[in-house]
Chains A and B, each alone.
Chain A
Amino acid sequence: MVIEMDAIANIKREYINNLAIEGKRLDERAPDEYRELKIIPNYIKKAEGSAYVELGATKVIVGVKYDVGTPFPDIPNEGVMTTSAELPPLASPEFESGPPGEDAIELARVVDRGIRESKALDTGKLCIVPGELVRIVFVDIQVLDDGGNLLDACGIGAITALKCAKMPIYNAEGNPTDEIESLPLRKVPVTCTIAKIGGKLLVDPQKDEEKIMASRITVSTDEDGNVVAMQKGIDGSFKLEEVMEAVRLAKIKGQENREKILKAIEEAE
């Protein structure tokens, strides 16, 4: 959805394009350079796990809450993870209140897929009483300030919040005990979003770059170097070689951000 306010002057469009062709960017970053990443684990005390993430001018909070409930009939011994995202009017003049639109749904689903498909969360261990009671893990994303590349900020926030979440241990009768445990996380998958501008690939697009990018691709990778999810966003296209270049970039940048996530959690604990 494009509202007039979101319009960007053609002159700026041309300027950003020309910079990209020369391998430069508005904020003087290198094409493969992320903005400064700040992660505060356990930012929300009421949540079982949470993270405040700043990626340049972008600010998001992700909270993890849980509930117990009956499992899906086709997977009676597995818990459930669900992810939702809100793009509230507070975070941008382009956002409107009301039920989640296309962008919010895509955001939540791409973040969810990166975690789910990597098999990071051992859903079998979320089972409390087989066939009767399982843990349901809610990952809720709140965007505070849309400075561009919400996908990576939210992806980093989600895995950080899951990684530092602590929940009561349930006994075999299905009652909570006083002891707490971490979520059964086997991996730390990280998304890396890459914009195509002026035929060049730029990681972590900021807002002005997002407004003029020809296309966008998000690649989630795990610590073993596997690709666990991909999504081409918006209009535009990529050549096969560009996709493979994006995959290579995502592996390197994903590892760098993974180390930052783990360091932030370690320092917080």
Chain B
Amino acid sequence: MKVITMTRCDGRKNDELRTVKMEVGVLNRADGSAYVEWGNNKVYAAVYGPKEVIPRFLARNDKAYLRCKYSMAPFSVEDRKRPGPDRRSVEIGKVMAGALAPAIILEDYPNSMIEVLVDVMQADAGTRCAGITAATLALVDAGIPMRGLVSACASGKVDDQIVLDLCKEEDNSGQADVPLAILSRTEDITLLQMDGIMTEEEVDEALSLAIKGCKSIYQMQMDALKSKYGD
């Protein structure tokens, strides 16, 4: 293990998460919903379905079609974000679907659609991880049958050190960012992205640290579900 010599810009230890709060069932109209406050990120997730597939040609006769949409409010970032989907949002929606699909028993609902909507109200690095974490809670809240919970957390490289859960300043100045999601029960990696420059050893270290972070997030997800539904 490396000796921790530097403190991070917000005073956290290298393996310390930001403060995370989770609440299940925060929206009335959605079939399931959740709110996650992760450091300065504020993220809502809603789930609708299983429901009719629109457009029809997307219907699958062996499993449900999972649609994920990620969007950011215009006021969620420093410079106003133009409303509507941009390329980044489309890509995040796609990788979120890939992260959640392995956890959902889609085979139970052929010819139907499950829609997951993640809306970021305030962004401060790590919104896709907060979004996946919230979406999982919303799926459970909607009563969708699941193989387990998906928990997400990023790690990265800042000042040549591998650290957990980068905040905005670290993300901007950092050398690499590794958002990760796992099926907590089996530690199967369902979301993995990385950008920056890292050696093979650093990738290994970053993935292990992020998995550790995901496990802490899993505990918080379980606590949030218990406080809504009891043990």
What residues make up the interface of A, taking CB atoms closer than 8 Å to B?
1-3, 100, 102, 105-106, 108-109, 113, 116-119, 217, 222, 225-240, 243-244, 247-248, 251
Choose, from B43-51, B196-204, B217-225, the stretch at the interface: B196-204
Can you list 19 residue pairs at the A/B interface with Cβ under 8 Å?
A102-B93, A102-B94, A105-B94, A109-B91, A116-B195, A117-B195, A222-B197, A227-B203, A228-B198, A229-B194, A229-B196, A231-B193, A232-B98, A232-B193, A236-B98, A236-B101, A237-B190, A240-B208, A248-B200
B46 to chain A, nearest CB (A): 20
Residue from B91, B102, B198 within 8 A of A106 (CB atoms): B91
Chain A CB within 8 A of B58 CB: yes
Closest 8 CB pairs of A and B: A237-B188, A230-B194, A235-B101, A232-B192, A117-B195, A102-B94, A237-B190, A238-B189
Contact B198 A226 (CB under 8 A): yes
A197 to chain B, nearest CB (A): 16
List residues of chain A with CB within 8 A of the CB of B187: 239-240
Residue from A106, A222, A225, A237 within 8 A of B94 (CB atoms): A106
Bound CA–CA A82/B95 (angstroms): 21
What residues make up the interface of B, taking CB atoms closer than 8 Å to A?
57-58, 60, 87-88, 90-91, 93-95, 97-98, 101-102, 178, 183, 187-200, 203-204, 207-208, 211
List residues of chain A with CB within 8 A of the CB of B189: 232, 237-240, 243
Contact B203 A240 (CB under 8 A): no
Contact B188 A238 (CB under 8 A): yes
List residues of chain B with CB within 8 A of the CB of A238: 188-189, 192
Known contacts A3-B57, A237-B102, A239-B187: does B196 contact A217 (CB below 8 Å)? Answer: no
Using CB atoms, name the residue of chain A closest to B85: A105
A76 to chain B, nearest CB (A): 15
Bound CA–CA A222/B195 (angstroms): 13
B135 to chain A, nearest CB (A): 15
Dominant secondary structure of chain A at its interface with chain B = mixed
List residues of chain A with CB within 8 A of the CB of B194: 227, 229-231
Contact A235 B200 (CB under 8 A): no
Contact A233 B195 (CB under 8 A): no
> Besides the contacts A225-B200, A232-B190, what 20 more A-B pairs have beta carbons closer than 8 Å?
A2-B58, A3-B57, A102-B90, A116-B195, A222-B197, A226-B197, A226-B198, A226-B199, A230-B193, A231-B192, A231-B193, A232-B191, A235-B98, A235-B101, A238-B188, A238-B189, A239-B188, A240-B187, A243-B192, A244-B204
A159 to chain B, nearest CB (A): 16
B118 to chain A, nearest CB (A): 15
A238 to chain B, nearest CB (A): 5
Of B98, B183, B207, most buried by chain A (CB within 10 Å of CB) is B98
List residues of chain B with CB within 8 A of the CB of A243: 189, 192, 203, 207
Bound CA–CA A239/B203 (angstroms): 14
Using CB atoms, name the residue of chain B closest to A250: B200
Bound CA–CA A239/B189 (angstroms): 6
Bound CA–CA A76/B142 (angstroms): 48
Bound CA–CA A229/B101 (angstroms): 23
B38 to chain A, nearest CB (A): 21
A227 to chain B, nearest CB (A): 5
List residues of chain A with CB within 8 A of the CB of B200: 225, 227, 244, 247-248, 251
List residues of chain A with CB within 8 A of the CB of B188: 237-239
Bound CA–CA A217/B200 (angstroms): 15
Bound CA–CA A118/B195 (angstroms): 8
